[in-house]
Each structure stands twice: as C-alpha cells, then as structure tokens.
Amino acid sequence: MPSEGGSTVCGVVRVVDGQQAEVEVEQGGCGRCHEKGGCGGQSLTQMFASGPRRFRVDNQFGAVVGERVTIAIADGSVRRAANLAYGVPLLAGIAGALLGTAVYGDPGGILGALVAFALAMIFVRHRSKNRSGNSFERPHIVSRS
C-alpha cells in the first residue's frame, strides 16, 4: 500500500525477520532539506552519523535480502511520532509537577512529576506498539526493484 504524498527513499534489504526488514539507505531522512517546509534533519544527522544507515520497516511485499526497494513514510508521521515521544512525557511531567506542588508543596511537585512522567512513558510505549487505529504510520516498503 503506497503512501499518499509521503516521503520515499531507496535502499537495499540487509535482513528479513518475518514481516519486518532492515533496509540500508545511503541518504538519511526524506531528502527535502532544502525545499520549502523541509526540516533540515538530514544536515543535522550528517554531523552525528556517517555512511549508510539502517531502518527497520514493514515488509508486506516480501522483499528478500539483497533486493533494492523503495521505502516510504506518510507525511506528518515523523512529527506525530516526535510529539508522542517527547511532547506527551514533557507535558505530563509539567502537569504532574504543578498538581503535586499545589497539593503537597515541593515534595509533592517532585513526586507528581515523576509519577506523571512514568505514566506518560507507559502510555507512549503502549501507543507506539499499537499498529492499528490512530497510531502513526510506520515506514514500509512500497516497491521492489
């Protein structure tokens, strides 16, 4: 199922594990760094990692090791994943700290922040494993070469 309007990149399948594949790509990110609306993430990743990168993707086409494939991810899914992974725990920690401080002062604020953060992390972990419903779309193979 090709993604409508998503970002794509080509790579080579290096490992197949059931319905998942590990794909090695030369280019990091979507390659739209210099276009209007591009995030510049590829430029940032070049500072921290050199050479090819590997990504775990859904393999609904049954690609095999050594095969060239195109992988895609829907527009907005990276933003949604970042909001889930960073925004939810941060906001939960702040809310827990405010509530705890209002009820029990400074010790309550610390405890409230820790409890809210832990609950948010459990929520994020559960939500990121959920592959149906409102879960963000995972990277997947859209064509084989």
- pTM greater than the 0.75 cutoff: no
Helices (H), 9-132: 41-48, 77-82, 88-129
Q: How far apart are CA 89 and CA 125, in angstroms?
A: 11
Architecture of the domain whose range is 7-75+137-144 = Beta Barrel (2.40)
User: By three-state DSSP, how is residue 127 classified?
Assistant: helix
pLDDT of 97-141, one tens digit each? 999 999 999 999 999 999 999 999 999 998 877 654 433 467 778
Choose the weakest-confidence range: 25-29, 47-51, 89-93, 133-137: 133-137
Choose the weakest-confidence range: 58-67, 68-77, 84-93, 103-112: 68-77
Angle value at C-alpha 140, between 137 and 145, nearest 5 degrees: 155
User: By three-state DSSP, how is residue 21 classified?
Assistant: strand
Q: Where are the domains of the chain?
A: 7-75+137-144
Report the chain's mean pLDDT, rounded to a whole number.
80
Q: Which residues contact 3 (CB under 8 A, 6 or more apart)?
A: 72, 73, 74, 75, 137, 140, 142
